[in-house]
Amino acid sequence: EAQVTQNPRYLITVTGKKLTVTCSQNMNHEYMSWYRQDPGLGLRQIYYSMNVEVTDKGDVPEGYKVSRKEKRNFPLILESPSPNQTSLYFCASSPRLLGETQYFGPGTRLLVL
Amino acid sequence: QQPVQSPQAVILREGEDAVINCSSSKALYSVHWYRQKHGEAPVFLMILLKGGEQKGHEKISASFNEKKQQSSLYLTASQLSYSGTYFCGTEARSQGNLIFGKGTKLSVKP
């Protein structure tokens, strides 16, 4: 089944404790992206990747890191999480350049205490 | 730079029509439309590209006015399943940076 998977789906952590949210797609898509969703603010892009080893900042990259060493994986790293990073996170992928359907993962709900 | 969606919310009866607008202050390459139901991930509806034609998908269609940098999503003869929050996403250049509006909450009542 073609899909985008994220792990974990739910995470409670404490300020400063490094964490990684994994994202994987099995559709051989070149484009991948991370978003956060907060009430009243809609979806905001954190980072995106046009292909392996190519990543770019979105609108809210501060406090986040990403890597794209393989085509299928695009992990999101929070080196030192803070409470303002409490949010719902979505990973998404698209076949090629962003002019095509983007498929979203199920989301990861993060709470930073 | 975030596109502005209007209205913020709308309530319909089954069978009624609705229009959701998305406006940007920047020149756009593409406009994307998504629907998100409560507790679920956004689901792609359609993309409109600069220079492209109006798109349609059953009773949901959209247009893109390049001169005004505006897009409109048309929902005709609404069904209960149309309920959800609709987001437009805009791309200024074909480079991958997608900026979403804050969303329009649509509620369809029996």
pLDDT of B95 over the 80 cut: no
Distances (CA, A) of B73 to A9, A56, B17, B28: 31, 30, 11, 16
pLDDT tens figures, A21-68: 999 999 999 999 999 999 988 999 999 999 999 999 999 999 999 999
Nearest CB to A90 within list B41, B44, B89: B41
Sort out which chain A residues have CB atoms less than 8 A from B88's CB and list them. none
Would you call A104 and B47 a contact, using CB atoms and an 8 Å cutoff?
no
Average pLDDT, chain B: 91
Q: How many C-beta atoms lie closer than 10 Å to residue A91's C-beta?
A: 28
The residue among B85 and B52 whose pLDDT is bigger is B85
Å between B109 CA and nearest CA of chain A: 23
Sort out which chain B residues have CB atoms less than 8 A from A103's CB and list them. 44
Q: What is the pLDDT of residue B90?
A: 92
Highest mean pLDDT among A100-104, B92-96, B106-110: B106-110
pLDDT tens figures, B64-77: 988 889 999 999 99
